[in-house]
Amino acid sequence: MTLRFVSVTCVSVAILACARRDPPPPPPPEVLVVPVVQRDVPVLGEWIGTLDGSVNADIRPKVEGYLMRQFYKEGQFVEAKDPLFEIDPRQFRAAHEQAQGALARA
């Protein structure tokens, strides 16, 4: 019985030893090789920036009102006394009529 027990134990240890082996390493990675070709490629880029002209003018209105239309295009040259905007005249007509009514009362 001891001989059988020893042989069964040896066989069991041998089976366990074989089962505990590390798995084989993975195959090396596949590498693609491409021939080098010389050619011109366009260089493109996008940047955010602002432009500052040699002469910049601040445009400030002398009167308040709603803008009806703009007479110039961005970046266009304008001369002195050129109209830049058209302002809604209804507000000015109402103020003019109110002033005429106050003058008539006085």
Q: How far is CA 28 from CA 21, 25, 31, 32, 92, in A?
A: 20, 9, 9, 13, 84
pLDDT digits (tens, 9 = 90+) for 13-42: 656 665 566 778 899 999 999 999 999 999
Task: Specify if 80 maps to a domain.
Answer: yes
Residue 54 domain flag? no
At residue 54, the pLDDT reads 76
What is the mean predicted confidence (pLDDT) over 88-95? 89
Q: Dig out the tokens for 26 from the structure.
A: 């993975």
Is 24 within the bounds of a domain?
A: no
Return the structure tokens found at 85: 């905007």
Q: How many domains does the chain have?
A: 1
Mean pLDDT, rounded, for 73-99: 89
Q: Whole domain around residue 104: which residue ranges?
A: 64-106
Q: Where does 1-106 show beta strands of DSSP type E?
A: 67-70, 85-87
Does residue 26 belong to any structural domain of this protein?
Answer: no
Q: Domain for residue 37, yes or no?
A: no
89, 77 Cβ separation under 8 angstroms: no
Tell whether 34 is covered by a domain: no
Decide if 101 is inside a domain: yes
Band of pLDDT at residue 58, cut at 50, 70 and 90:
confident
Asked if residue 94 belongs to a domain, the reply is yes
